[in-house]
Amino acid sequence: MEAVHITTPLDRKIIKELTAGTSVLISGIIYTVRDAAHKRLIEALKRKEELPFILKGQTIYYAGPSPARPGRTIGSAGPTTSGRMDVYTPRMLSVGVKAMIGKGSRSMEAREAMQKYKAVYFVATGGAGALLAQTIKKATVVAYEDLGPEAIRMLTVDNFPAIVANDIYGNDLFEQGRAQYRKEKG
């Protein structure tokens, strides 16, 4: 299956072409943001404070990497469960986040927000953190360093493999895939 090469930031034209089930190889800049960092960003938005990085147009990666050994860019860096971030997703998309990378399915509310704000969700292979780390060429902590693995990191990735799970048309790969391979039994 031929994967589509895409480069961040993802513009409207690319996003329109990304339909559920499409394999992609992502290059460019993505930001790690998971549970605790989401909480802080949302609180900062509420208080109308300046954010540590511009969210508009960005791709965020739900990940908390393991520490880098000396001389290395990063440790193991696979996706974490996206469902925990669903409550924050409508707000994040409303300020311009265009793509999310994680693992597992999303809530109906998050999916509706993706349609409304024209954003996509990619699934990456959970538990393949060593392999995925090989595509990360640069990693810099940009905010919340005190959160350790949950700090926000700016990553430069080269051909990071993922699959479109939710597109702007309301398709859901988890539902489609399971329906296709489920064998009904009494």
Partner 1 sequence: MALIAAKLREIKARDITETVARLCQSANFELNEDVLAALKQAQQNEQSPLGKEILHQLVENARVAEAKNLPLCQDCGTAVIFLEVGQDTHVVGGGFEAAVTEGVSQGYTQGYLRKSMVSQPFSERKNTKDNTPPVIHTEIVSGDHIRVICLPKGAGSENMSRLVMLRPGDGQEGIIDSVLRAVDEAGASPCPPLIVGVGIGATSEGAMLLAKKALWRPVDQPNPDPEIAALEEELLSRINDLGIGPMGIGGTTTALAVHAEARPTHIASLPVAINLQCHCARHKEARL
- For residues 1 and 48, which CB has a smaller minimum distance to partner 1 in the complex? 1
Half-sphere exposure of 170 (CA within 13 A, CB side): 3
CA-CA distance, 54 to 16, in Å (whole number)?
A: 23
Told to check if 173 binds partner 1 by CB under 8 A, we report yes
Q: How many alpha carbons lie under 13 Å from residue 63 in its C-beta half-sphere? A: 34
Which pair of structure tokens corresponds to residue 114? 């993706």
Q: Which is nearer to partner 1, 46 or 186 (CB)?
A: 186
Q: Select 58 or 105, whichever has its Cβ closest to partner 1.
A: 105
Q: Is position 176 an interface residue for partner 1 (rule: CB under 8 A)?
A: yes
Q: How far is CA 124 from CA 2, 9, 26, 101, 131, in A?
A: 16, 18, 11, 7, 11
Would you count residue 23 as binding partner 1 (CB under 8 A)? yes
Nearest CB to partner 1, comparing residues 9 and 66: 66
Strand partners, 104: none
Least separation, in Å, of the C-beta of 58 and partner 1? 21
Q: With contact defined as beta carbons under 8 Å apart, do 142 and 83 qualify?
A: no
Among 24, 64, 122, 144, binds partner 1 (CB under 8 A): 64
Let me know: does 53 contact 154? Beta carbons within 8 Å.
Answer: yes
Residue closer to partner 1 (CB basis): 77 or 113:
77
Q: How far apart are CA 56 and CA 59, in angstroms?
A: 9
Task: Among 83, 90, 96, 171, indicate the residue that binds partner 1 (CB under 8 A).
Answer: 83
Stretch that binds partner 1, among 10-18, 50-58, 102-110, 135-143 (CB under 8 A): 102-110
Positions touching partner 1 (CB under 8 A) are: 1, 21, 23, 63-69, 75-78, 80-81, 83, 103-105, 123, 125-131, 133-134, 148-149, 161, 163, 165, 173-174, 176-183, 185
